[in-house]
Chain A
Amino acid sequence: GENVEQHPSTLSVQEGDSAVIKCTYSDSASNYFPWYKQELGKGPQLIIDIRSNVGEKKDQRIAVTLNKTAKHFSLHITETQPEDSAVYFCAARGLRDSSYKLIFGSGTRLLVRP
């Protein structure tokens, strides 16, 4: 079935450094790739997304890149700050039907050390 793999499962960086999280997906027809941030005790919140007709998207310190040929996409956070510490999930929109279901990766716990 459809699958999204996410790496690494944990990531520790020094404040000010960059962080990169990578995901691969199995369904070549997938066309929407969101990234969610989940803070402790809260629900996931969308931070950035990209569609299959775009290769890169930026929003201030965060960016997402998409390589459709290789079926992978990545989240880049620059100039990391302690408040970036959270669990990040990637997802891909499955296209088996028209239900707009999302298939999620297993999550990356990011720790930004002050």
Chain B
Amino acid sequence: NAGVTQTPKFQVLKTGQSMTLQCAQDMNHNSMYWYRQDPGMGLRLIYYSASEGTTDKGEVPNGYNVSRLNKREFSLRLESAAPSQTSVYFCASRTGTSGDYEQYFGPGTRLTVT
């Protein structure tokens, strides 16, 4: 049981390049989340998927798109990377059961855009 896995661990992009961050969970969770973490700002929600087939915007969705590929996988895409997207990205999942609030986090992807 690996929990939440993310690939890649590190990535360097040039401004304007695109890439997809991958996330998968093996806990049979219904809900999945993408956050970014910047120094002094905690974690901010980019997008989330309450259940397979649905996605919604969080606090900071501009410049990102997501795909809930199936119940296990939730990807985050940067179509045209900008230096402001330099950050550490975390994926998280939750059972989706009413009243069960705990989110389980992956190890993160450190992205640098030059």
Partners in one complex: yes
Cβ contacts under 8 Å, A104 to chain B:
42-44
How many angstroms from the CA of A77 to the CA of B43 in the assembled complex? 22
Whether A89 pairs with B42 at a CB distance below 8 angstroms is: yes
Whether B42 pairs with A101 at a CB distance below 8 angstroms is: no
Cβ contacts under 8 Å, A101 to chain B:
33, 45, 48, 58
Proximity bits, B64-80, A CB within 8 Å = 1, else 0? 00000000000000000
Chain A interface category by residue count: 20 to 34
- With A9-B40, A43-B4, A106-B42 as given contacts, are A49 and B102 in contact (CB-CB < 8 Å)? yes
Whether B40 pairs with A44 at a CB distance below 8 angstroms is: no
Cβ contacts under 8 Å, B13 to chain A:
none
- With A6-B42, A99-B50, A106-B40 as given contacts, are A45 and B105 in contact (CB-CB < 8 Å)? yes
Is the CB of A102 closer than 8 A to any CB of chain B? Answer: yes
Whether A43 pairs with B50 at a CB distance below 8 angstroms is: no
**Pick from A34, A41, A44, A49: contact of B90, CB under 8 Å:** A44
Binding site for A on B (CB under 8 A): 4, 31, 33, 40-45, 48, 50, 56, 58, 90, 92, 94, 101-108
Binding site for B on A (CB under 8 A): 4, 6, 9, 32, 34, 36, 41-46, 49, 89, 93, 99-102, 104-107
Could you list some 15 contacts between A and B, CB below 8 A? Answer: A4-B42, A34-B101, A34-B102, A36-B105, A49-B101, A89-B43, A93-B101, A99-B48, A101-B45, A101-B48, A102-B45, A102-B101, A104-B44, A106-B42, A107-B40
